């Protein structure tokens, strides 16, 4: 309990610093440059505390998704969703978005992670990857599940607000797809995935997650 309290105190301190450095909601990109490296760099360092030093994600009790190589449009959209309460109720991420991230800073963070590309963790059951590849490339017509590559691209790199899946942590993808209706269904931009995720069995979800987790 003492460790958790200390962690919370440290996080609150960082958020307070970022909030003062971030400026008003309407501040332009020039304000970030004018304030020096502190505002953006402090926020990036904080993100990497959970998402890994190269944005590769974290495997543990609380899995953190890979941000490295993610499309800037998707990252910015998700940060806005946290800010507006359309995604999650996690205390720490909501503190970060409400108190520290103006539009220019969100864009700066998204651009930084876009250019990172560490090797994927892997570790998913390799025997599922072949089935996952087939579903990813062909879909499951009898279950009304389209090919994943139709939106996410043949190499799962994503485009615009459609996220990159390549290299994403196996456990994160399985959790997200299994709980899509609860976690993302309230977000209008994500409603297209609600019936798709619903029509996938757990074994099919595992196969897809295993396949994309090894893509670079």
- 144 and 203 fall within a common domain: yes
Give the model's pLDDT for residue 138: 98
For residue 121, is it within any domain?
Answer: no
pLDDT band for position 28 (cuts 50, 70, 90): very low
Q: Give the Cα separation of 137 and 88 in Å (integer).
A: 30
For the chain, give the mean pLDDT.
80
pLDDT beyond 90 at 168: yes
- Report the domain count for the chain: 2
Q: Give the Cα separation of 12 and 90 in Å (integer).
A: 14
- 144 and 202 fall within a common domain: yes
Give the model's pLDDT for residue 42: 81
Give the model's pLDDT for residue 155: 97
- 138 and 80 fall within a common domain: no
CATH code: domain of residue 137: 1.10.760.10
- 94 and 15 fall within a common domain: yes
Answer yes or no: pTM beyond 0.75: yes
pLDDT beyond 70 at 10: no
Give the model's pLDDT for residue 103: 87
Question: pLDDT of 39-63, one tens digit each?
Answer: 778 888 888 888 998 999 998 888 8
- 29 and 133 fall within a common domain: no
- 17 and 88 fall within a common domain: yes
DSSP structural state of residue 215: -
pLDDT beyond 90 at 173: yes
Give the model's pLDDT for residue 186: 64
For residue 29, is it within any domain?
Answer: yes
Instruction: With both helix axes pointing from N to C terminus, report the angle between 170-178 and 202-213 in degrees, rounded to the nearest 10.
Output: 150
- 181 and 77 fall within a common domain: no
Give the model's pLDDT for residue 89: 58
Q: Comparing C-alpha atoms, which of 168, 185, 25 is closest to residue 104?
A: 25
For residue 85, is it within any domain?
Answer: yes
Q: According to DSSP H, which parts of the chain are helical?
A: 2-22, 29-34, 38-51, 72-83, 91-100, 103-114, 129-138, 149-152, 170-178, 180-183, 193-199, 202-213
pLDDT beyond 90 at 12: no
- 68 and 110 fall within a common domain: yes
> In terms of C-beta density within 10 A (0-12 exposed, 13-18 middle, 19 or more buried), how is residue 54 classed?
middle
Q: Which of 89, 114, 139 is the last residue of a domain?
A: 114
Q: Give the Cα separation of 164 and 22 in Å (integer).
A: 28
Question: pLDDT of 130-150, one tens digit each?
Answer: 999 999 999 999 999 999 999
Tokens of 16: 């307070």
Question: pLDDT of 17-26, one tens digit each?
Answer: 333 333 333 3
For residue 61, is it within any domain?
Answer: yes
- 49 and 107 fall within a common domain: yes
- 130 and 165 fall within a common domain: yes
Name the residue range of residue 190's domain.
126-213
Give the model's pLDDT for residue 29: 34
pLDDT beyond 50 at 85: yes
pLDDT band for position 88 (cuts 50, 70, 90): low
For residue 103, is it within any domain?
Answer: yes
Give the model's pLDDT for residue 187: 67
- 78 and 160 fall within a common domain: no
Q: Give the Cα separation of 133 and 58 in Å (integer).
A: 24
- 141 and 179 fall within a common domain: yes
């Amino acid at each position: 309990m003492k460790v958790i309290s200390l962690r919370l105190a440290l996080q609150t301190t960082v958020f307070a610093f970022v909030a003062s450095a971030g400026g008003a909601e309407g501040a332009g990109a020039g304000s970030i440059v004018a304030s020096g490296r502190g505002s953006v760099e402090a926020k990036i360092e904080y993100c990497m505390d959970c998402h890994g030093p190269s944005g590769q994600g974290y495997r543990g009790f609380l899995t953190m998704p890979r941000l490295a190589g993610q499309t800037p449009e998707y990252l910015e959209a998700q940060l806005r969703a946290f800010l507006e309460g359309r995604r999650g109720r996690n205390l720490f991420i909501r503190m970060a978005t409400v108190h520290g991230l103006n539009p220019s800073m969100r864009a700066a963070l998204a651009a930084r992670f876009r250019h990172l590309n560490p090797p994927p963790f892997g570790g998913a059951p390799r025997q599922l990857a072949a089935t996952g590849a087939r579903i990813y490339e062909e879909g499951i017509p009898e279950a009304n599940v389209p090919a994943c590559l139709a939106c996410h691209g043949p190499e799962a790199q994503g485009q615009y607000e459609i996220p990159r899946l390549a290299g994403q942590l196996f456990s994160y993808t399985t959790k997200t797809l299994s709980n899509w209706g609860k976690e993302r269904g309230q977000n209008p931009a994500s409603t297209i995935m609600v019936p798709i995720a619903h029509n996938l069995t757990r074994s099919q979800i595992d196969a897809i997650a295993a396949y994309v987790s090894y893509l670079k």
